[in-house]
C-alpha cells in the first residue's frame, strides 16, 4: 500500500480511500525530531483527535498534512494519492488555525468569501454561498464587522465558515477550542461535532485536553515525544491504556510496577516491591516469569472494602493520605509503603471517609480492570 | 503622607524639565519665524527691525526683488523634492525586499544583518569620501542622481529595514498560511494578505528614505558634479558661505518646517482613518509604522547564523 520511507520516493497510489500517513517523519534543522515514524489511517467522515502533551508534534503533523511543513521522510496519501509535493493551495485540505488567523483587514463576509474568490467563483454566487455558511454558524447579522470586533467564540465560527465554504475533503483543526472560555468550549464541542456529522467530513482535530478528546472523537491518537503511543476509540483509551505514558496522561490510573511472578496461559500475576499482587489477562504477550511488568488499574474501578485483611490478589492494604471531596465523587489519595494509589468512589460515601486520614483501609479491583502496559 | 508629597515633587520637577525641553527644542525655530517677518533692513539677529512685513517671504518666490535667491532656491527645492522622492521609493522597495529574506533563517544571516546595519554606523562624510574616491578611480563622474542618491539610499536602507523587521515581528504568519490553505497561490497570498497588512511599514521605509535625503548635506555635498543644480541643504549652506545671511533664509527654514508639519499631519490623518476602519489590534500610529517595538527587535533580530 505505501512506499518505503523518503519524501523523495515516487508518489505512490493505491485504491485506499481516506487519509494515510505513512512513516511520516519531521526533523527540524538543528536536529529537533518533531514527528517520528507516524502511521495513521483516517476514513472519510471520521472524527479523529490527535491528543498529546505540549511539544509532542501534533501541530507539526497537521502542518505537514496541510502543506505548511515539508516532511523529512514518509508519505501523506489522500485517497491513495500523495500530497507531499502538492502546494498548500492545491490540497483538498484546509486548516482552522489555533488563533483562527482571520484576515484582520477584511470583514467577516469578505473573510468567508476569500476561499471562493481564490477559486474563481463569481461575485453573486460567492456572496450567496458565504452568507449561507455564516447562517449555518449563526453569524449572518455580523457579516459587516471586522474580526477585531468579534468575541473569541464568534471568531471561531467565522474561521469555521471560512473553511467550510471551500468544501475541503479533510478539515484540520489545531486546538480550535483552545482560545475559548470553558463554558463556550463545552458548547462548541457539541456544535462542532454536530456540524461534522451533518457534513460527513473527515475532521482531524488536535488538542492537549483529554476530556475534549474523549467527548468528541470517533478515534483518539495519543502522541508523545514525536511518536504515536496508542490509536483507539475513546472508551479503550480511557479504560485500556496501552502504555505507561497513556495511562499517566489520561490521568487517574494506578500503576503497579513489578515483576511477573506467575504465568498460566494468558494470565499473568505481577507483584511489586510492597507485596501488592495483581493479575491481568495478557493474550499475545510473551512476558515470562521474572521479567519486569507494569499494570494499570483505573482509580474509578477500585473498590474500597472496610474489612482489613482478606485476599492478597488484586487487592492492597493502604493508608489514607488525603480525602478529596469533588461533589459527585470522592478521591481517596492512598499510599502502600510509599507508593501512591488513588481510588474514586461516589460522592455519597464522603461522610464515611471524612477525617480518616492516617487510617488503614483495604482496596480491591477485578482482574478485568487490570491492564498490562508497554514501556 | 510623606510618600505622597514626594510623588508630587517628582511630577513638578518632570513638568519643569519638560517645559525646558520644549523651549530648548523650539525656541530657535520660533526666533527664526519671528525674524523672518522683518522689514527691508532686517538682519539675522535681534533687535527686530520693522516694519513687520512679508518682504523676506516674498523674496523666496519673486526673483525680481533685488538680490533675491529665489531662482536658486526654487530649483534646488524642486531638485531636492524629486531626488528625495526617488530615495524614499528605492529605500522602501529595497528595505522591504531585504526584510522579506529575513523572514526565514538562512546561512550567515547574522553576518548579513550586520552588513546591512554597517551603513548606519559609518560617518556620512567618510562614506561620501569613499564613494567619491571609488568612482574617481573607476573613471566615472559623480552626480546627484547617481552617486549622491545611491549613497543616501545605502544610508536609508538600514532604517527602513529595521522598521520592516519590527513589522514582521508582530506579523502573524498563520494569516498567510490560511490564505494559502484557502486556495491562494504564493503571489495571490502576497497581494491579498501580506501587502495590505504590512504596507504601512513599507511606507515607513519610504518616509525614512525621503527625509534622510531631504535633509542630507554630508553625503551629498561631495558627490555633486559642479555644474548641476544642488539640493536644498547644499544650496543653503552655499548661500551662508558665499553671501551675507539674510532673513529670507529664515523664511525658507520656516517654510520647509511648515511643509513638513503639514505632511506629517496628512500621514497621521490617513493612517488614523485606516486604523479606525480596520480596527486592528494596533492602536498606535507608531506601531503601525513598526516603530513601536523597534528597539526590542533590533536586539532580537540577528538570529545566530549557526543554528
Ligand atoms: N519551525 C520549527 N523549528 C524548529 N523546531 C520546531 C519548529 N516547529 C516546532 N518545532 C519543535 O518540534 C516539536 C513539536 O512541535 P509542535 O508544534 O508540533 O508541538 P505540539 O504538539 O503542537 O505542541 P503544543 O501543544 O504546545 O502546540 C517541539 O519540540 C518544537 O519545539
Ligand atoms: Mg501545537
User: Can you spell out the DSSP letters for A58-120?
Assistant: HHHHHHHHHTSS--SEEEEEETTEE-TTS-GGGSSEEEE-TT----TTS-HHHHHHHHHHHTT
Any residues with Cβ below 6 Å from ligand 1, and which? A 28, 32, 34, 52, 54-60, 208
Kindly list the residues of chain A whose beta carbon comes within 8 Å of any beta carbon in chain B: 29-30, 66-68, 87-89, 91, 93-95, 97-99, 101-105, 114-115, 118-119, 146, 148-149, 162-163, 166
Could you give the count of Cα atoms lying within 13 Å of A86 in the half-sphere of its Cβ?
Answer: 19
Mean pLDDT for all residues in chain A: 87
A66 and B181: CB-CB below 8 Å? yes
Q: Which ligand is nearest to the CA of A97?
A: 2
Taking the CA of residue A265 as centre, how many other CA atoms within 13 Å lie in the half-sphere pointing to its CB? Answer: 3
Residue A55 CA, ligand 2 centroid: distance in Å = 7
Q: How far is it, in rounded angstroms, from Cα A285 to Cα A305? A: 32
Q: Ligand 1 pocket check: which of A30, A55, A68 to mutate, most ligand atoms within 8 Å of Cβ? A: A55
Ligand lying closest to the C-alpha of residue A227: 1
What atom of ligand 1 comes closest to residue A226's alpha carbon?
14
Residues of B in contact with A176 (CB under 8 A): none
d(CA A292, CA A286): 12
pLDDT 10s per residue in chain A (375 long)? 333 333 333 444 455 789 999 999 999 988 789 999 999 999 999 999 999 999 999 999 999 999 999 999 999 999 988 999 999 999 999 999 888 899 988 999 999 999 999 998 899 999 999 998 898 888 888 888 888 888 888 898 899 899 989 889 999 999 988 878 888 888 889 988 998 998 899 999 999 999 999 999 999 999 999 999 999 999 999 988 999 999 999 988 899 888 888 888 888 889 888 888 888 888 777 777 888 889 999 998 888 886 666 667 888 888 899 999 998 999 999 998 888 899 999 988 888 888 888 888 888 898 888 888 887
Residue B289: pLDDT band with limits 50, 70, 90:
low
Rg, chain B, Cα only: 24
- Write the residue with the smallest CA distance to atom 24 of ligand 1: A54
Name chain A contacts of B188, Cβ cutoff 8 Å. 89, 118
pLDDT value at position A8?
Answer: 38
Cβ pair B76, B66 in contact under 8 A: no
Domains and CATH numbers, chain B: 26-69+243-278 (no CATH), 86-233 (1.10.3720.10)
A101 to B278: CB separation less than 8 angstroms, yes or no: no
What one-character-per-residue DSSP string does A244-303 give? HHHHHHH--EEEEEEEEEEEETTEEEEEETT--EEEEE-TT----TTSEEEEEEEGGG-E
Mean pLDDT for all residues in chain B = 80
Q: Do A89 and B180 touch (CB under 8 A)?
A: yes
Q: What is the mean pLDDT of residues B214-242?
A: 79
pLDDT for B4 equals: 55
pLDDT for position A12: 45
pLDDT score, position B282: 46
Nearest-by-Cβ selection for B278 from A66, A97, A104:
A104
Angle between helices A108-118 and A152-164 (to 10 degrees): 20
Overall pTM > 0.80: no
In the prediction, which pLDDT does A315 show? 86
Collect all residues of chain B within an 8 Å Cβ-Cβ radius of residue A67. 180-181
Q: C-alpha cell of B177?
A: 498560511
Interior/surface letters A166-195, b for 16+ CB within 10 angstroms, e for the rest: bebebbbbbbbbbebeeebbeebbebbbeb
Q: Higher confidence at residue B251 or residue A33?
A: A33
Q: What stretch of H or E contains A232?
A: strand A227-232
Nearest CA in chain A to B171: A101
Is the per-residue pLDDT at B304 higher than 50? Answer: no
pLDDT in tens, B77-96: 888 889 999 999 999 999 99
CA dihedral A155, A161, A163, A165 (to 10 degrees): -160
Ligand nearest to the CA of A208: 1
Query: Any bridge partners for residue A297, and if so which?
Result: A254, A370
DSSP letters for A309-359:
----BTEEEEEEEEEEE-SSEEEEEEEETTEEEEEEEEGGGGGGTTT-TT-
Q: Are B111 and B305 in contact (CB under 8 A)?
A: yes
Q: State the Cα–Cα distance between residues B137 and A344, nearest whole angstrom.
A: 88
Is the pLDDT at B296 greater than 50? The verdict is: no
- Please give the Cα distance from A33 to A27 (Å, whole number): 4
Tens-place pLDDT, residues B134-183: 888 888 877 888 888 888 899 999 999 999 998 898 888 999 999 999 99
Task: Choose from B172, B174, B181, B193 for mutation: most chain A CBs within 10 A.
Answer: B181
pLDDT at position B303: 38
Instruction: Write down all domains in chain A, each with its CATH number in brackets.
Output: 19-239 (3.40.50.300), 252-373 (2.40.50.100)
Q: How many CB pairs under 8 A join A and B?
A: 81
**Chain B: residues touching A (Cβ < 8 Å):** 105, 172, 174-175, 177-186, 188-189, 192-193, 196-197, 278-281, 307
pLDDT value at position B150?
A: 87
Q: Whose CA is nearest to atom 26 of ligand 1?
A: A54
Mutate to test the pocket of ligand 1, among A28, A52, A69 (most ligand atoms within 8 A of CB): A28
> DSSP for B195-260?
HHHHHHHHHHHHHHHHHHHHH--HHHHTTS-TTS---HHHHHHHHHHHS---HHHHHHHHHHHHHH
Report the SS3 class of residue B42. Answer: coil
Report helix, strand or coil for A6. strand
> H or E stretch including A179?
none
With beta carbons less than 8 A apart as the criterion, state whether B252 and B60 touch.
yes
Amino acid at each position: 500500500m505505501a512506499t518505503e520511507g523518503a519524501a523523495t520516493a515516487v508518489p505512490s497510489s493505491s485504491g485506499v480511500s481516506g487519509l494515510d500517513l505513512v512513516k511520516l517523519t519531521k526533523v527540524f534543522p538543528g536536529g529537533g525530531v518533531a514527528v517520528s515514524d507516524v502511521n495513521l489511517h483516517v476514513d472519510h467522515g471520521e472524527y479523529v483527535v490527535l491528543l498529546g502533551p505540549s511539544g509532542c508534534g501534533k501541530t507539526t503533523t497537521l502542518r505537514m498534512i496541510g502543506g505548511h511543513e515539508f516532511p523529512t521522510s514518509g508519505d501523506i496519501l489522500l485517497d491513495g494519492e500523495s500530497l507531499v509535493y502538492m502546494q498548500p493551495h492545491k490540497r483538498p485540505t484546509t486548516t482552522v488555525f489555533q488563533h483562527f488567523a482571520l484576515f484582520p483587514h477584511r470583514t467577516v463576509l469578505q473573510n468567508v468569501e476569500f476561499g471562493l474568490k481564490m477559486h474563481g467563483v463569481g461575485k453573486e454566487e460567492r456572496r450567496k454561498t458565504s452568507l449561507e455558511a455564516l447562517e449555518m454558524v449563526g453569524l449572518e447579522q455580523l457579516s459587516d464587522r471586522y474580526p477585531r470586533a468579534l468575541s473569541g467564540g464568534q471568531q471561531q465560527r467565522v474561521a469555521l465558515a471560512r473553511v467550510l465554504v471551500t468544501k475541503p475533503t479533510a478539515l484540520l483543526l489545531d486546538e480550535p477550542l483552545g482560545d475559548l472560555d470553558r463554558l463556550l468550549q463545552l458548547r462548541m464541542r457539541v456544535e462542532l461535532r454536530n456540524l461534522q456529522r451533518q457534513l460527513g467530513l473527515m475532521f482531524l482535530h488536535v488538542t492537549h485536553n483529554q476530556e475534549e478528546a474523549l467527548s468528541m472523537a470517533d478515534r483518539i491518537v495519543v502522541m508523545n515525544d514525536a511518536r504515536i503511543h496508542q490509536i483507539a476509540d475513546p472508551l479503550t483509551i480511557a479504560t485500556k491504556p496501552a502504555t505507561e505514558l497513556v495511562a499517566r496522561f489520561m490521568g487517574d490510573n494506578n500503576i503497579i510496577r513489578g515483576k511477573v511472578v506467575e504465568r498460566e496461559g494468558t494470565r499473568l500475576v505481577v507483584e511489586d516491591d510492597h507485596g501488592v499482587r495483581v493479575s491481568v489477562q495478557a493474550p499475545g504477550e510473551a512476558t515470562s516469569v521474572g521479567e519486569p511488568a507494569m499494570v494499570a488499574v483505573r482509580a474509578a474501578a477500585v473498590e474500597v472494602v472496610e474489612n482489613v485483611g482478606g485476599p492478597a490478589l488484586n487487592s492492597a492494604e493502604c493508608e489514607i493520605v488525603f480525602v478529596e471531596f469533588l461533589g459527585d465523587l470522592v478521591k481517596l489519595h492512598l499510599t502502600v509503603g510509599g507508593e501512591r494509589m488513588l481510588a474514586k468512589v461516589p460522592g455519597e460515601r464522603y461522610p464515611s471517609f471524612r477525617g480518616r486520614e492516617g487510617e488503614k483501609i483495604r482496596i480491591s479491583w477485578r482482574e478485568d480492570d487490570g491492564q498490562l502496559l508497554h514501556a | 503622607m510623606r510618600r505622597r508629597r514626594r510623588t508630587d515633587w517628582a511630577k513638578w520637577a518632570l513638568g519643569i524639565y519638560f517645559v525646558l525641553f520644549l523651549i530648548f527644542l523650539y525656541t530657535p525655530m520660533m526666533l527664526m519665524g519671528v525674524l523672518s517677518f522683518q522689514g527691508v533692513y532686517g538682519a539675522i539677529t535681534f533687535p527686530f527691525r520693522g516694519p513687520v512685513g512679508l518682504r523676506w517671504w516674498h523674496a523666496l518666490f519673486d526673483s525680481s526683488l533685488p538680490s533675491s535667491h529665489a531662482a536658486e532656491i526654487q530649483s534646488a527645492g524642486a531638485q531636492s523634492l524629486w531626488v528625495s522622492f526617488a530615495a524614499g521609493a528605492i529605500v522602501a522597495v529595497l528595505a522591504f525586499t531585504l526584510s522579506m529574506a529575513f523572514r526565514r533563517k538562512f546561512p550567515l544571516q547574522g553576518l548579513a544583518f550586520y552588513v546591512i546595519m554597517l551603513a548606519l554606523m559609518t560617518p556620512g562624510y567618510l562614506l561620501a569620501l569613499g564613494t567619491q574616491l571609488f568612482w574617481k578611480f573607476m573613471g566615472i563622474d559623480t552626480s546627484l542622481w547617481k552617486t549622491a542618491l545611491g549613497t543616501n539610499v545605502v544610508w536609508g536602507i538600514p532604517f527602513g529595514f529595521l522598521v520592516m523587521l519590527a513589522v514582521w515581528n508582530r506579523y502573524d504568519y498563520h494569516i498567510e498560511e490560511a490564505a494559502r490553505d484557502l486556495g491562494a497561490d504564493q503571489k495571490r497570498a502576497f497581494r491579498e494578505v501580506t501587502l495590505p497588512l504590512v504596507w504601512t511599514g513599507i511606507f515607513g521605509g519610504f518616509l525614512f528614505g525621503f527625509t534622510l535625503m531631504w535633509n542630507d548635506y554630508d553625503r551629498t555635498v561631495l558627490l555633486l558634479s559642479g555644474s548641476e543644480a544642488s539640493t536644498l541643504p547644499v544650496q543653503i549652506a552655499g548661500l551662508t558661505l558665499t553671501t551675507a545671511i539674510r532673513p529670507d533664509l529664515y523664511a525658507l527654514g520656516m517654510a520647509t518646517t511648515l511643509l513638513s508639519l503639514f505632511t506629517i499631519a496628512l500621514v497621521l490623518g490617513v493612517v488614523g482613518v485606516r486604523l479606525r476602519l480596520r480596527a486592528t489590534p494596533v492602536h498606535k500610529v507608531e506601531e503601525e509604522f513598526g516603530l513601536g517595538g523597534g528597539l526590542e527587535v533590533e536586539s532580537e533580530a540577528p538570529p545566530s547564523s549557526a543554528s
